[in-house]
Each structure stands twice: as C-alpha cells, then as structure tokens.
Structure 1
C-alpha cells in the first residue's frame, strides 16, 4: 500500500455480544480465547493483572456449525 490511502474502521463489541451473535446464527462454540499482549507493549499500558499474572498464550478458539 505504499503511497495509497486507506480507511480502517474498528467496531468493538463485548465478548458476550459476539458469542451470542455466533450462537444465534447457528454456530456452536467450543472455546473462546484472545491472543496475548504483544511483547512490545509498554508495561504502563498493560492492565495490572497482565503485569503481575500474565495471561498464558492464545488458547485459540473452535467454532463449527451445528
């Protein structure tokens, strides 16, 4: 994209809203996870729990149609 413009849009939805949307659409969730914080994230930007008790690596997710 060198020299090209782009529009990036984020839509944040809480986890419970996302899982409800998937299950309402007929998906069956077997696991829900999030990737860990980037190792480059400054400590002052991390929540206290992640500094004292780091979240293990991504537990992954499994989704399949019912």
Structure 2
C-alpha cells in the first residue's frame, strides 16, 4: 500500500500502476518510470500532487531494502 498526499485519476490508477511494475526487480527503476509515464500519458490519467518519480522512489527503495535484508 502506498499512502501520501497525492491523488490518482482515475481512482483505480493504483491497480494499473501495480500491473505495470509487478515483476520488475528493485534495480529496474528506470523501466518503471518509463512504463508509468506511458500509462499517465493517456487522456484522463494522472498522478496529482506528485511526480512519477516521487510516487515510485519509495516503492523501489523498499524493494531494494527487502532484497538486501533477505
């Protein structure tokens, strides 16, 4: 779960984001950024109050930490 002071449009955009980044490794951040930028380039899709990078950095930092703490 990602929480914060941001909004998503459409409201279920978080599910679409998960589909796009699921299966990526913690060091494939740039691929995730590219995929999410492509997604939010669609009409009506946007992350409000955060950049793609601000949205994804915590996810990939957590994944990296989990990977190194196995």
TM-score by length of 2: 0.30
Decide which structure has greater strand share.
1
Decide which structure has greater helix share.
2
**Higher-Rg member (1/2):** 1
